Structure 1
Amino acid sequence: MDILTNHIGYSASGPKKAVIQCVEGEKAEEFFVLDLKGNRVYTGTAVFAGGVANWNTGSYYRADFTEVTREGTYRIQVGEHYSQEFEISKCLVTMRMLNAVSYYFKAQRSSGEWLEDDRSLPFKGPREGEVDAHGGWYDATGDYGIHLSHLSHSTYHNPQQIPFSAYTFFKAHDFLTESQNEQYSMLKRRMLDEGFFGVDFLMRMRAPSGSFFRSINRSNALASVEGTRRIGFEYKRSSDQFSAVAATAGEESVGDENYEVSLRSGGGLAIAALAIAGRNYYPGAEHTQKEYIQAAKSAWAYLSENNERYTNDGKWNLVDEYCALIAATELYITTKEYDYLQKARLMAEKIYLRTTLTGSGLKRLEAAEGIPYYHAADEGMPVVALLQYAEIEPDDDKRVQAVEYAEDIMRWKLMVTDNRSNPFGYPVLESREGEQIVEKFFFPHHSTAAPWWQGDNARIASIAAACAELSFVTKDEELAVRCRRMAQDPLDWIMGLNPFDSCMIEGYGRNNIQYFFQNRYDFINCPGGIVNGITSGLTDEQGIAFVRQPTLEIDDNWRWAEQWIPHASWFIYASALKRE
């Protein structure tokens, strides 16, 4: 029997649970919360959940101890079994992890030989010229490239990378300010510092067209740095990420648009980050507030009219719309220009049309007709976008409508999540396979992003963020309670409450996983960074996997153990929202 808890600790005022992992024949009904002196401070009854899908990790009980609110160090007892010690505190857990994960970003700042090479980058392929693109954060443990987004060929799966990270630091600053907790003083200053580092890089990535350059590509991971980095491009119908040449390389001509971004591939969040930077002052920023605002306005003017030129299919879709909604919302907050409010309303209306009524009476959000929306990194972003828009909407009816659609989208997500054995509260997704809609715990191996798939820590943290925001504004108390739980469950999972008893934040908790590449450990993980996480099984998408050591099949465990900045960004966003 293993008693699984959040390794780092729990908020005194928030939901708290442990999950008891049992082998065949074991039962776990009564449990006790003990203080360090061994006193029983709480007695509860664990709820049997059984096995989960095809995980083959045992059967489970869920033990809720939310009623324990006194600060201190505790452990849980079930029969003769004890958990590891854990903390309950008012804001220390949030402070510690915001501190750790934001320091991870400082460690990922481009510097040294990479920074010097990036001061005069040529283009990969036919485009001529050079760009001063120094700065930015390295994308991942094994990728010292720097990307606004990628996977553009996949249509619905562009992740928001560098721009969202920059944006997140400004939003986290605002959330911490709203909490009115004086202990966040230094954290708030560091959030602005990191945010401005990000937007100053975005200023250098502006393209003459009015868009932004998408990516700095590094060559082979173990190659020398000097002269091997380029401003990269993406083909529109296939990817060369896992092969020397993209499948459609011989069929596609590469023009300027291939090097630049659409709203869905980083442009929308870049605009939002620049707009929010324009209403903040911080010593050391490379530009004036006016310059950030003008850059945001210029990029919006261009991309809102020319977005189709930069998409892989020549169309707007849901991802463009929620990224554009965030951009227009931030531009309106910063400038108070009515046109941006009108554009935000238009984007919200387009998102409403992406929902479809199900037989249960709830609304499912769809990426396209008949295709449920799911995303490896940003699944909570549509709800976040609607709620941010609702905050600035002066018309009462339109504001209520935005919140109601956010509620509808999340009610469906929570229903799908709760409609199964799920003691960890792991957010379930729906994908379309042929004529069937299939429910899964983890991002599918076979999607338009294939062969790309990986752990879901960004995805689940984005849902935690969406639920946290919704819990503050919904008037449906039952939904608010459920959202508060879903705002915590994914963070618990990341911080160690998972079947592998592994904290996925390097240097914290227990059983950290390490990244190996070609059976080497050249790219050891960075303290404070968050790994990709747990996936479905290698051959069974209803199974579970977390590959720690090289095998005959796997000499690069990036899908599980590589750190990636969207995981850290969404974790910061969700954690800062706690308002402790």
Structure 2
Amino acid sequence: MNGMKLWLASGAALLALAGGVAQAAVKVHVNQVALERAGPKAAVVETDRGAAGGRFSVLRDGQEVLAGDLAAEPAFSEWGAGKRYFTADFSGLKEAGRYEVKVTLGGETATSPAFVVADDALFATTGKALVEYFKLSRNVSEADKRIRIYGTKTYVNVWGGWKDAGGDAGKYLSHLSYANFFNPQQTSFAAWALARSYEASPGRFQKAGLDKQIVDEALWGADYLHRLLSPEGFFYMTVFDRWKSPGAERVVTGYVGIEGVYTKNYQAAYREGGGVAIAALARAYRLAKDTGAKGEFPADQYLADAERSFAHMQKNNLRYVDDGRENIIDDYTALLAATELYLSTKKPVYLEAARARAARLNGRMTANGWFDSDDKGRPYYHAAEAGFPVLSLVSYLAIETDAARIAAAKDTIGKALKGQLTLDAAVANPYDYPRQPFMTFKDGRRGPLQTGFFIPHANETRYWWQGESARLASLSVAALLGGRATDPRAGAAFGVEPALAEFAQDQIDWTLGRNPYDMSMLYGFGAKNVPDAESAGVHVPGGISNGITGGVGSDQGRGIAWAEGPDSENWRWLEQWIPHNAWFLLLASVTDPEAK
């Protein structure tokens, strides 16, 4: 960051901390990038004045094309006292074009940033940049061709893959494994999501001239996963250098805590990226066969790797999980692995394994409409992949033929989607931000069951909380794919019931600027992008930053915060991270109601 940018960013932060000296009386928060012509469209209007109502106009080239009354939202103070919120719903706008929303409220006027309305708007506008992000993030360090396995004198070739984040050249199938309930699927999910995105709608990628690029990128990921596979049959979990700490050796390892303490727990359990690595390789086999594309290794090698690892993991997963107990993340990642292997081989052993995992997932559904993480009542919540259980069950439906099992999976999917909508509507929620159940974890003890907007900062990782862009995209994917699997609506927006369509669009809108900070998390798109910070590293065009969090200092994640500093902490909000892009690319690929 140059000096002028630093001064401006610091000045903006000081103004915010001082109570918003330069804040406008009325703000119009809107998706600054692209809205679907046939989909839900709404702006959130915020004011600190006592206005009871107002009007909005949608403008094209300065001319009004649609107008209406603002709808008052229930009182909401968790993100700041003294504010009122209204909604400007302009879903009736059906003509493609470039627009702005102008609002008159309490004698004040305000106009939103410009945005595009179009058919297939999200994919057409962002798809190219989302795919290119991965190539721009490739890790091609020659040093990784000979890396030591921590605690041994053995060296392995783990070259390739992608840098995990803007400020982190490490490579992770999953991190936070010592915390047991927070494992995000990282490199292996990126490889799977690239291949799955292409399969969702190959014609769209071909029309955009992106088909070769996305297939090549998926196989780049598969080649890396092949190199990570150990002779024993597990995948090496992490290539890590303590975030480039001075003097730290780059090794294959596990790690613990914010100190990045190396451990010998480098064997990736199902939940530690091993399950999705198997799924990605099994899918890469079909992708290479179907397209004729070639990576460094042949398609048959990918499938052989996946089968060998699955056989090993079925016998050894409990050895590799850090607490010796499987939980929900093992279930949904192993379910995806078994499903992909069955699709690639049609071997009954994989169907039976998938059925067993699906039954376990079904059994974790609670009467509240959310999943239990374990057998001790801890609710499932996840900052990066809350929609993954539904995604895995939807994938499983593609291989199941038994009517009772199909009905059971659909019932679980339906309850999960309904539970999310019910939880969101239980309190005032002007942005329709997805709420979650949680228990804090502090001083070795779990707190009581609570619900809130953001993940708690007091959790089993003891340090890790950040913005939730990947979580939002994952929930939108679940809403669209889960909605079509359980209650398809031909001709409706996104092919799902209106409540799910609105929910999915609301999460897209938040990421693309319709949030309290008017910040588009997708770099290079929208009127306002994230600022620089040394701790966040490089911002890559098309990359998605972590996003907004609960208030700093709140164990429960109450309140709201954005890049409050110091610089060493700003990675929590500003850093780009590979799961955000993987989930958002998958989301953009399945917005077409005809997508598979």
TM-score (norm 1): 0.90
CA apart distance, 1:394: 1.4
Equivalent of residue 446 in structure 1, options 458, 472, 481: 458
- Which residue identity lines up with residue 400 of structure 2 in the other structure? E
CA apart distance, 1:99: 1.2
CA apart distance, 1:185: 4.8
Aligned to 2:125: 96
What is the SS of the residue equivalent to 1:365? coil
Aligned to 2:149: 123
Equivalent of residue 500 in structure 2, options 468, 471, 483: 483
CA apart distance, 1:15: 1.3
- Which residue identity lines up with residue 402 of structure 1 in the other structure? A
Equivalent pairs counted in the alignment come to 548
Equivalent of residue 372 in structure 2, options 366, 369, 388: 366
Q: Pick which of 277-286 and 465-474 moved more.
A: 277-286
Aligned to 1:398: 405
What is the SS of the residue equivalent to 1:346? helix
Aligned to 1:472: 484
Equivalent of residue 60 in structure 1, options 75, 80, 85: 85
Q: Tell me how far apart the structure 2 counterparts of residues 219 and 371 of structure 1 sit (CA, whole Å).
A: 30
CA apart distance, 1:92: 4.1
- Which residue identity lines up with residue 25 of structure 1 in the other structure? G
**Residues 70, 86 of structure 2: 8 Å contact kept:** no
Q: Tell me how far apart the structure 1 counterparts of residues 260 and 412 of structure 2 sit (CA, whole Å).
A: 44
CA apart distance, 1:353: 1.3
What is the SS of the residue equivalent to 1:20? strand
Q: Pick which of 23-32 and 320-329 moved more.
A: 23-32
**Residues 113, 527 of structure 2: 8 Å contact kept:** no
Q: Tell me how far apart the structure 2 counterparts of residues 86 and 183 of structure 1 sit (CA, whole Å).
A: 26
- Which residue identity lines up with residue 379 of structure 2 in the other structure? P
Does the C-alpha gap of structure 1 residues 173 and 399 become closer, same or farther in structure 2, counting only changes over 3 Å? same
Q: Tell me how far apart the structure 1 counterparts of residues 82 and 147 of structure 2 sit (CA, whole Å).
A: 49
**Residues 336, 392 of structure 2: 8 Å contact kept:** yes
Superposition pairs of residues 41-80 of structure 1, within 5 angstroms:
41-56=66-81, 58-79=83-104, 80=109
Q: Tell me how far apart the structure 2 counterparts of residues 438 and 476 of structure 1 sit (CA, whole Å).
A: 33
Q: Tell me how far apart the structure 2 counterparts of residues 35 and 517 of structure 1 sit (CA, whole Å).
A: 40
- Which residue identity lines up with residue 64 of structure 1 in the other structure? D
CA apart distance, 1:175: 1.1
Q: Tell me how far apart the structure 2 counterparts of residues 104 and 405 of structure 1 sit (CA, whole Å).
A: 34
1:537-572 Cα deviation digits (max 9, x unpaired): 112332100016x44xx5331111111101111111
Q: Tell me how far apart the structure 1 counterparts of residues 208 and 530 of structure 2 sit (CA, whole Å).
A: 32
Q: Tell me how far apart the structure 1 counterparts of residues 29 and 79 of structure 2 sit (CA, whole Å).
A: 19
Does the C-alpha gap of structure 1 residues 29 and 46 become closer, same or farther in structure 2, counting only changes over 3 Å? farther
- Which residue identity lines up with residue 566 of structure 1 in the other structure? P
State whether structure 2 residue 201 is matched by structure 1 residue 172: no
Aligned to 2:562: 546
Does the C-alpha gap of structure 1 residues 474 and 109 become closer, same or farther in structure 2, counting only changes over 3 Å? same
Does the C-alpha gap of structure 1 residues 414 and 382 become closer, same or farther in structure 2, counting only changes over 3 Å? same
Q: Tell me how far apart the structure 2 counterparts of residues 244 and 348 of structure 1 sit (CA, whole Å).
A: 35
Q: Tell me how far apart the structure 2 counterparts of residues 525 and 7 of structure 1 sit (CA, whole Å).
A: 19
Q: Tell me how far apart the structure 1 counterparts of residues 194 and 544 of structure 2 sit (CA, whole Å).
A: 16
Does the C-alpha gap of structure 1 residues 220 and 302 become closer, same or farther in structure 2, counting only changes over 3 Å? closer
What is the SS of the residue equivalent to 2:236? coil
**Residues 49, 62 of structure 1: 8 Å contact kept:** no
Superposition pairs of residues 49-448 of structure 1, within 5 angstroms:
49-56=74-81, 58-79=83-104, 80-111=109-140, 115-124=141-150, 126-177=151-202, 180-181=203-204, 184-219=207-242, 221=244, 223=246, 228-234=249-255, 239-240=256-257, 242-243=258-259, 245=261, 255=264, 258-281=265-288, 282-358=292-368, 363-368=369-374, 369-433=376-440, 434=446, 436-448=448-460
Does the C-alpha gap of structure 1 residues 204 and 44 become closer, same or farther in structure 2, counting only changes over 3 Å? same
Does the C-alpha gap of structure 1 residues 16 and 123 become closer, same or farther in structure 2, counting only changes over 3 Å? same
1:325-350 Cα deviation digits (max 9, x unpaired): 11111111111112211111110001
- Which residue identity lines up with residue 586 of structure 2 in the other structure? Y
Q: Tell me how far apart the structure 1 counterparts of residues 155 and 540 of structure 2 sit (CA, whole Å).
A: 31
1:353-407 Cα deviation digits (max 9, x unpaired): 112224xxxx331102321110111110001111111122112222122111111
**Residues 120, 592 of structure 2: 8 Å contact kept:** no
- Which residue identity lines up with residue 47 of structure 2 in the other structure? C
**Residues 470, 480 of structure 1: 8 Å contact kept:** no
State whether structure 2 residue 557 is matched by structure 1 residue 532: no
- Which residue identity lines up with residue 46 of structure 2 in the other structure? Q
Does the C-alpha gap of structure 1 residues 182 and 215 become closer, same or farther in structure 2, counting only changes over 3 Å? closer
What is the SS of the residue equivalent to 1:74? strand
CA apart distance, 1:505: 1.1
Q: Pick which of 48-57 and 558-567 moved more.
A: 48-57
Q: Tell me how far apart the structure 2 counterparts of residues 321 and 244 of structure 1 sit (CA, whole Å).
A: 27
**Residues 514, 525 of structure 1: 8 Å contact kept:** no
CA apart distance, 1:487: 1.5
Q: Tell me how far apart the structure 1 counterparts of residues 484 and 82 of structure 2 sit (CA, whole Å).
A: 36
CA apart distance, 1:182: 7.4
**Residues 101, 112 of structure 2: 8 Å contact kept:** yes
Aligned to 1:460: 472
Any gaps of 5 or more consecutive residues in structure 1? Answer: 247-253
CA apart distance, 1:173: 0.2
CA apart distance, 1:51: 2.2
Q: Tell me how far apart the structure 1 counterparts of residues 206 and 300 of structure 2 sit (CA, whole Å).
A: 31
TM-score (norm 2): 0.88
What is the SS of the residue equivalent to 2:438? strand
Does the C-alpha gap of structure 1 residues 455 and 181 become closer, same or farther in structure 2, counting only changes over 3 Å? closer
Aligned to 2:509: 492
What percent identity do the matched residue pairs reach?
A: 32
CA apart distance, 1:187: 2.3
Q: Tell me how far apart the structure 2 counterparts of residues 141 and 169 of structure 1 sit (CA, whole Å).
A: 19
Does the C-alpha gap of structure 1 residues 288 and 57 become closer, same or farther in structure 2, counting only changes over 3 Å? farther
**Residues 466, 549 of structure 2: 8 Å contact kept:** yes
What is the SS of the residue equivalent to 1:77? strand
Any gaps of 5 or more consecutive residues in structure 2? Answer: 1-25, 441-445
**Residues 268, 274 of structure 2: 8 Å contact kept:** yes
What is the SS of the residue equivalent to 2:63? coil
What is the SS of the residue equivalent to 1:372? coil
What is the SS of the residue equivalent to 1:280? helix
Q: Pick which of 83-92 and 260-269 moved more.
A: 83-92
Q: Tell me how far apart the structure 2 counterparts of residues 210 and 414 of structure 1 sit (CA, whole Å).
A: 41
Tell me the C-alpha RMSD between the 2 structures: 2.1
Aligned to 2:43: 18
Aligned to 1:576: 589
What is the SS of the residue equivalent to 2:370? strand
**Residues 379, 462 of structure 1: 8 Å contact kept:** yes
